[in-house]
């Protein structure tokens, strides 16, 4: 089979809701690599949040920060940081509203609030070792590729109306990702495939969350997990089984990329 490039979301796709990697998923990814396919991750997470997973699976290509920081074989090939002036305005507005922010670059994350239950709840749900360090001026000195903004659903429309250079995408009941307007996993994938000069016919993608909508709409060979949001299932070409029911393996079978064997 011709070499293909397959993108996998992390949370709810590669990892189950306990943040565990199913054995069938690990087998499937390794088998794809043995067959010569290119494997990549497409995630809203910062690179430092999935280093262990990359090492476990031997994956060195990824679209991170929902498309704002793209790496091919360990080398950055595309960057789309947040507008600094708009970020300054967002920060001041959020401080007045008492909504905390965590600023992220490709190496670190820092919070403008020493502690907050929303930060604890949302970042705690990722089950990662990293926690934000308190440094309210971090964003002034660094390129920031994404922010985690902490607010509940009824508060977010005010931010969307006032900060039109940013998109706000909910990933937790207490938090949204703040992205450059028009930023998405799809945009990051497009930048990467243009860099590699490969055809869209060779590109596949798996996802489950609202931040996968653009990716699964853009990539015509797309698969929604069985545990995906209903809105996500509607835009994907295929729907596979739940992440805990060999969803990745079965999805690759649907695509004709793998024949399911005993795992």
187-239 pLDDT, tens digit per residue, is 999 999 999 999 999 999 999 999 999 999 999 999 999 999 999 999 999 99
Whole-number pLDDT of residue 259: 84
Whole-number pLDDT of residue 262: 44
User: What's the Cα-to-Cα distance from 3 to each of 10, 202, 234, 260, rounded to whole Å?
Assistant: 22, 7, 28, 19
Domain ranges of the chain: 5-79+183-255, 84-180
> What is the CATH superfamily name and number for domain 5-79+183-255?
HAD superfamily/HAD-like (3.40.50.1000)
Whole-number pLDDT of residue 159: 97
What are the contacts of 225-228 at 24+ separation with CB within 8 A?
Answer: 225/12, 225/13, 225/251, 227/12, 227/17, 228/12
- Average confidence score pLDDT of the chain: 95
Catalytically annotated residues: 9
**What are the φ and ψ backbone dihedral angles of 44, each rounded to 5 degrees?**
-80, -10
Whole-number pLDDT of residue 2: 81
Q: Are 261 and 248 in contact (CB under 8 A)?
A: no
> In the chain, which stretches have pLDDT less than 50?
262-263
Of the CATH numbers 3.65.10.10, 3.40.50.300, 3.30.1240.10, 2.60.120.10, which one belongs to the domain with range 84-180?
Answer: 3.30.1240.10
């Amino acid at each position: 089979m011709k070499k293909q490039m397959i993108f996998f979301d992390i949370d709810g796709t590669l990892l189950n809701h306990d943040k565990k990697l199913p054995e069938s998923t690990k087998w499937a990814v390794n088998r794809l690599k043995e067959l010569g396919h290119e494997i990549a991750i497409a995630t809203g997470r910062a690179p430092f949040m999935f280093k262990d997973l990359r090492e476990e699976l031997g994956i060195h290509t990824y679209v991170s920060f929902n498309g704002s920081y793209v790496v091919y074989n360990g080398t950055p090939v595309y960057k789309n940081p947040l507008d600094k002036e708009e970020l300054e305005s967002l920060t001041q507005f959020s401080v007045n509203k008492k909504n905390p922010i965590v600023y992220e670059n490709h190496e670190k994350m820092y919070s403008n609030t020493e502690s907050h239950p929303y930060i604890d709840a949302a970042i705690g749900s990722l089950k990662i070792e990293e926690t934000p360090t308190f440094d309210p001026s971090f964003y002034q000195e660094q390129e920031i590729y994404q922010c985690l903004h902490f607010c509940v659903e009824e508060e977010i429309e005010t931010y969307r109306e006032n900060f039109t250079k940013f998109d706000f995408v909910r990933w937790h009941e207490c938090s949204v990702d703040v992205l450059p307007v028009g930023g998405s996993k799809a945009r990051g994938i497009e930048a990467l495939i243009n860099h590699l000069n490969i055809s869209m016919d060779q590109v596949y993608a798996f996802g489950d969350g609202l931040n996968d909508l653009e990716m699964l709409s853009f990539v015509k060979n797309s698969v929604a997990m069985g545990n995906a949001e209903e809105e996500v299932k509607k835009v994907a070409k295929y729907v596979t089984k739940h992440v805990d029911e060999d969803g990745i393996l079965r999805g690759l079978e649907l695509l004709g990329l793998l024949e399911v064997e005993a795992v």
